[in-house]
Amino acid sequence: MKVKFEELKKMNLDELLALLPIEIAEHSRRVAVCSALMTSVATSIADMPALGNAENLAVVAHFGGLCHDIGKILGGCFEYEETYSSHPYRGVEILLQNSEELFDAINQRQMVLEMTRFHHERPDGTGFPNGYTQREIPFCAAICAVADRLDNLVYAQNKQQLTPVEVLPYFTNEIAKSFTDTAVGCLESAIGPISDFYAQWNLEH
């Protein structure tokens, strides 16, 4: 369904997610939980920078995970051409237009916007939209990148194909190329709760 950009203003998050194809909306919900679980263990990772309260950060990461693909809503009147590589920009544009409705309970608006805009950046500089390298990628965006790819590997064609444990070697092999070492470390530390989450998701869906 196509909607005009003006119609996207003043929508809450549930209304925006409802405009996404159901497989993308459900993907976003899984990415949100995985991002939160990974972020909740961040303060136990060696050499982590000071990120503030881990519980609060996990709430922000969950919200950012829900929002990360919001730019895949099909609508007119956008500045950017409707292509796959433009959806991070489109997502930020939508979120900024809905900032009052979406961010009332979130005090880390910048982190949510960074997750939306930069979750396809790669440490080796081959990602998009900015071609950032490892030190330039914001922490929560790096977490979202791992959660996003994890769900695409585990949950292909709207059905679980592999387990999180089975795909873990893929991430360790891609450190410094596709994913930051810190984000992969968070995945390794949270692999138990993430596996439990997918098992529960399969029971409920």
In angstroms, how far is CA 87 from the centroid of its own chain? Answer: 13
List the structure tokens of 172: 């360790």
How many domains, the chain? 1
> Measured between alpha carbons, how far is 188 from 150 in angstroms, rounded to an integer?
12
Note the pLDDT tens digit of each residue in 97-147.
876 666 655 557 888 999 999 999 999 999 999 999 999 999 999 999 999
**pLDDT score for 46:** 45
Least confident window among 21-35, 63-77, 140-154, 168-182: 63-77
* Position 76 pLDDT exceeds 90: no
> Measured between alpha carbons, how far is 52 from 11 in angstroms, rounded to an integer?
30
List the structure tokens of 195: 């596996």
* Position 165 pLDDT exceeds 50: yes
* Position 160 pLDDT exceeds 50: yes
Structure-model confidence comparison of residues 3 and 138, the more confident one: 138
CATH number at residue 116: 1.10.3210.10
Average pLDDT over every residue of 155-181: 90
Structure-model confidence comparison of residues 205 and 62, the more confident one: 62
Give the predicted TM-score (pTM) of the model.
Answer: 0.88
Q: Which amino acid is at 134?
A: Q
Residue 107: phi and psi, rounded to 5, are -95, 5
**CB-CB contact of 129 with 89 (8 Å):** yes
Confidence category of residue 191, pLDDT binned at 50, 70, 90: very high
* Position 164 pLDDT exceeds 70: yes
Confidence category of residue 1, pLDDT binned at 50, 70, 90: very low
Least confident window among 2-16, 34-48, 134-148, 153-167: 2-16
Supply the range of the domain harboring residue 72: 3-204
Residue 191: phi and psi, rounded to 5, are -65, -30
